[in-house]
């Protein structure tokens, strides 16, 4: 068994979701040799490669594809790259994170390799048997892969926590030989730009505490209360689809079946009714707190602590009484 | 230019699903079925492109058992010009669906394929990327805005990514998959529902399209997720802070 990890990097470092994919590879097989594939160009790629080499003790080598073609992680070039690296390496498993990077690239690469990928894996029972949620997490499906190699997975990073003692020796870094790279798809899609909210708050997918607001916040102005509370608790801010659709916050804060999946220690929902699509994204939280005026809101059925009350009174009181987070 | 839209018949989004007692799957007998919401958005986008004069025809495709015709009729009532039904009683996984779509592209020669980013039953989020890969076409997944320029033969697609929005420019022909905020799908009006009855739905079998229905994955079992333990209702903010601090130890 040998595993190829399709890794994502930003600002010269490997993204934490990609390191979770390494943890998933270890659950496939403890003895597996793990190769991490990185693509990009320039100094930030070299920096990321150096980080990759020492970010996890189970990584046995780092493969680097350095070319202007890979400056932006486009699915067209990445899928061809995966095909090339697989032809040379003959890996038994190819794993990536189930985020917008992995979701975009993995199925395309799988089609080129004539493989059915298994997306959104939350548990690994054996080297060819995996559990994934279906119907917004209202059912769990165990799937067996019976095809020829490679078995291709995307994994939810919230289900594969990275162990803290992840210091390691330097894994060797080698360059991918791109002389036989299939150029057919190069240039057919072009990166134009990327707009992101700049925030000091922790990343929604990895935060220990998440504070979420729903439609009941009524306006973007009121939603700032949620942000204030999040600041106080060192938390990430999330939102329901209704709050995003109403324009209170940008789309990347949406939590749920089609948005972000979170699994914090503490999840606090204010004015969230608890649609099944939203609950799908918070199911693995350790402690769920719900504050809602409506005592019959479905969110109370999954909340560890429910408080029936007006969030416009509860949040200010919490802001006053909660200790400052250092 | 012709636009092809793939639509899937799924358990209605509002239905609370039940796992079958023999763990073979989810109960779909006597359950309300509808068009996958993301596919509705895909079809709506195609119809708007046609209304703006940039496309000549919208062809809706559905695959699966005979009841898929109902879903296609809904699509025709929304405004699609024609339907194609690939009939199969066997389970169709995304790789097979992508191969069937590719075969239909060879027949229909559309300039754009629009699909929902995922179906709300299996939540796979694969088919669009796979058909794009098989065709060698560029892909714009999770689109929240689509601008077509038929003169330059490009599509500018704004995509919802983890940390914001990304904009790509794709050469046509291309594959686009839709996210939630691309548009608000229309309802079919009664006159259009009547008109849809006389629109053509062409039938194919996978054999006629030279695609073998097989799969390299099998469903071992489908189970209920573990239930969360029922919580408690508390009465004040002070009690909440106390519980979080001294019982749950999370603050």
Pairing state between β A305-308 and B232-234? parallel
Q: Which residue of A has its CA nearest to B169?
A: A190
pLDDT tens per residue across span A25-44: 999 998 889 999 999 999 99
In B125-154, the residues whose Cβ lies within 8 Å of chain A are: 125-134, 136-142, 144
B130 contacts A108? CB cut-off 8 A:
yes
SS3 string of chain B?
Answer: CEEEEECCEEECCCCCCCECCCCCCECCCCCCEEECHHHHHHHHHHHHHHHCCCCCEEEEEEEECCCHHHHHHHHHHHCCCEEEEEECCCCCCHHHHHHHHHHHHHHHCCCEEEEECCCCCCCCCCHHHHHHHHHCCCEEEEEEEEEEECCCCEEEEEEEECCEEEEEEEECCEEEEECHHHCCCCCCCHHHHHHHCCCCEEEECCCCCCCCCCCCEEEEEEECCCCCCCCEEECCHHHHHHHHHHCCCCC
pLDDT tens per residue across span B154-168: 999 999 998 889 999
Is residue A212 within a helix (H) or strand (E), and if so which, with residue range?
strand A209-213
**A100, A105, A129: residue with CB nearest B162:** A100
Per-chain mean pLDDT for chain B? 96
Q: In angstroms, what separates the C-alpha of B33 from chain A's closest C-alpha? A: 13
Q: DSSP letter at A223?
A: H
Q: What integer is the mean pLDDT of B117-139?
A: 97
Contact at 8 Å (CB) between A149 and A90? yes
| Per-domain residue ranges of chain A | 2-175, 209-321
A252 contacts B133? CB cut-off 8 A:
no
Bond before B156 cis per omega within 30 degrees: no
Give the span between the Cα atoms of A308 and A218, in whole angstroms.
18
- The range of the structural domain enclosing residue B170 comes to 2-220
B230 contacts A317? CB cut-off 8 A:
no
The predicted pLDDT at position A202 comes to 87
Is residue B134 within a helix (H) or strand (E), and if so which, with residue range?
helix B127-135
B235 contacts A144? CB cut-off 8 A:
no
The reply to whether A209-321 shares the fold of A2-175 is: yes
B133 contacts A111? CB cut-off 8 A:
yes
Give the span between the Cα atoms of A277 and B59, in whole angstroms.
30
Q: DSSP letter at A134?
A: E
**A116, A120, A196: residue with CB nearest B216:** A116
The predicted pLDDT at position A166 comes to 57
Q: Which residue of A has its CA nearest to B221?
A: A142
The tally of domains found in chain B comes to 1
**A141, A148, A303: residue with CB nearest B219:** A141
Is residue B135 within a helix (H) or strand (E), and if so which, with residue range?
helix B127-135
A283 contacts B228? CB cut-off 8 A:
yes
Q: Domain A209-321 carries which CATH code?
A: 3.40.50.1220
**Could you tell me the CATH number of the domain that includes residue B100?**
3.40.50.620
**Touching check for B214 and chain A: CB below 8 Å?**
no
**B130, B137, B164: residue with CB nearest A107:** B130
Which tops the pLDDT comparison, B135 or A283? B135
Residue B40 maps to a domain: yes
**Cβ neighbours for B90, distance < 8 A, ≥ 6 positions apart:** B213
pLDDT tens per residue across span B9-52: 999 999 999 999 999 999 999 999 999 999 999 999 999 999 99
Q: Which residue of A has its CA nearest to B164?
A: A196
**B133, B144, B241: residue with CB nearest A79:** B133
Q: Which residue of B has its CA nearest to A145?
A: B217
Tokens matching residue A266? 């503490």
Share of chain B above pLDDT 90, in %: 95
Tokens matching residue B155? 């599509």
Set of chain B residues whose Cβ sits within 8 Å of the Cβ of A257: 120, 123
ipTM > 0.85, yes or no: yes
Residue B182 maps to a domain: yes
Q: In angstroms, what separates the C-alpha of B45 from chain A's closest C-alpha? A: 18
The predicted pLDDT at position A325 comes to 63
Contact at 8 Å (CB) between A21 and A35? no
The predicted pLDDT at position A163 comes to 76
Choose, out of A206, A304, A309, A326, the residue to mutate when testing the contact with B (most B CBs < 10 Å): A304
Residue B251 maps to a domain: no
> In this complex, how many residue pairs, one in chain A and one in chain B, have their CB atoms less than 8 Å apart?
253
Set of chain A residues whose Cβ sits within 8 Å of the Cβ of B243: 305
Residue B236 maps to a domain: no
Residue B242 maps to a domain: no
Residues of chain A with pLDDT under 50: none
The predicted pLDDT at position B230 comes to 77
B244 contacts A188? CB cut-off 8 A:
no
Residue B248 maps to a domain: no
A139 contacts B224? CB cut-off 8 A:
yes
B144 contacts A107? CB cut-off 8 A:
no
Set of chain B residues whose Cβ sits within 8 Å of the Cβ of A209: 250-251
Helices then strands (H, E): number in chain A?
8, 18
Taking each helix axis from N to C end, the angle separating A220-233 and A311-321, rounded to the nearest 10 degrees, works out to: 30
In A102-121, the residues whose Cβ lies within 8 Å of chain B are: 103-112, 114-120
| Topology classification of domain A2-175 | Rossmann fold (3.40.50)
pLDDT tens per residue across span B58-86: 999 999 999 999 999 999 999 999 999 99
Q: In angstroms, what separates the C-alpha of B198 from chain A's closest C-alpha? A: 34
């Amino acid at each position: 068994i040998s595993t190829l990890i399709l890794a994502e990097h930003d600002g010269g470092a490997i993204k934490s979701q990609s390191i979770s994919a390494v943890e998933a590879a270890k659950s496939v097989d403890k003895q597996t040799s793990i190769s991490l594939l990185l693509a990009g160009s320039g100094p930030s790629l070299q920096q990321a490669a150096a980080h990759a080499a020492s970010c996890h003790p189970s990584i046995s080598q780092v493969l680097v594809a350095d070319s202007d073609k890979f400056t932006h992680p486009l699915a067209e070039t990445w899928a061809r790259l995966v095909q090339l690296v697989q032809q040379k390496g003959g890996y038994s498993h190819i794993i990536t994170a189930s985020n917008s990077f992995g979701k975009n690239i993995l199925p395309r690469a799988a089609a080129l390799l004539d493989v059915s990928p298994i997306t959104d894996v939350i548990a690994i029972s054996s080297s060819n048997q995996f559990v994934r949620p279906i119907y917004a997490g209202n059912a769990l499906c165990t799937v067996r892969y019976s095809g020829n190699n490679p078995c291709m997975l995307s994994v939810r990073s919230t289900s594969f926590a990275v162990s803290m003692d992840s210091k390691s020796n330097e894994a060797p870094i080698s360059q991918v030989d791109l002389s036989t790279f299939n150029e057919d798809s190069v240039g057919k899609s072009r990166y134009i730009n990327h707009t992101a909210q700049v925030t000091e708050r922790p990343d929604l997918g990895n935060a220990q505490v998440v504070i979420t607001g729903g439609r009941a916040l009524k306006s973007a102005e009121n939603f700032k209360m949620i942000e204030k509370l999040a600041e106080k608790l060192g938390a990430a801010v999330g939102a329901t689809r209704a709050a995003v659709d109403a324009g209170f916050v940008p789309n990347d804060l949406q939590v749920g079946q089609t948005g972000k999946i979170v699994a914090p220690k503490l999840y606090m929902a204010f004015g969230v009714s608890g649609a099944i699509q939203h609950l799908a994204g918070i199911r693995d939280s350790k402690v769920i707190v719900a504050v809602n005026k409506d005592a019959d809101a479905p969110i109370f059925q999954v909340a560890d602590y429910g408080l029936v009350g007006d969030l416009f009174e509860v949040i200010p009181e919490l802001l006053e009484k909660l200790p400052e987070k250092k | 230019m012709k636009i092809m839209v793939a639509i899937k018949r799924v358990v209605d989004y509002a239905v609370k699903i039940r796992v079958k007692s023999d763990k073979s799957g989810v109960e779909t007998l006597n359950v309300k079925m509808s068009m996958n919401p993301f596919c509705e958005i895909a079809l709506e986008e195609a119809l708007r492109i046609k209304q703006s004069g940039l496309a000549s025809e919208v062809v809706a495709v559905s695959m699966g058992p005979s009841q898929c015709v109902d879903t296609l009729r809904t699509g025709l009532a929304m405004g699609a010009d024609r339907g194609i039904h690939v009939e199969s009683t066997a389970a169709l996984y995304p790789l097979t669906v992508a191969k069937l779509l590719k075969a239909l592209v060879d027949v229909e020669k559309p300039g754009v394929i629009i699909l929902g980013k995922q179906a709300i039953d299996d939540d796979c989020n694969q088919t669009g990327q796979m058909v794009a890969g098989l065709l060698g076409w560029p892909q714009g997944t999770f689109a929240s805005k689509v601008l077509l320029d038929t003169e330059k033969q490009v599509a500018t697609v704004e995509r919802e990514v983890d940390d914001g929005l990304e904009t790509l420019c794709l050469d046509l022909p291309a594959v686009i998959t839709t996210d939630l905020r691309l548009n608000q799908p229309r309802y079919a009006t009664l006159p259009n529902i009547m008109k849809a009855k006389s629109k053509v739905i062409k039938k194919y079998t996978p054999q006629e399209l030279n695609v073998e229905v097989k799969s390299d994955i099998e469903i071992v079992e489908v189970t209920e997720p573990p239930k969360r333990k029922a919580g408690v209702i508390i009465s004040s903010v002070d009690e909440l802070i106390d519980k979080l601090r001294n019982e749950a130890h999370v603050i």
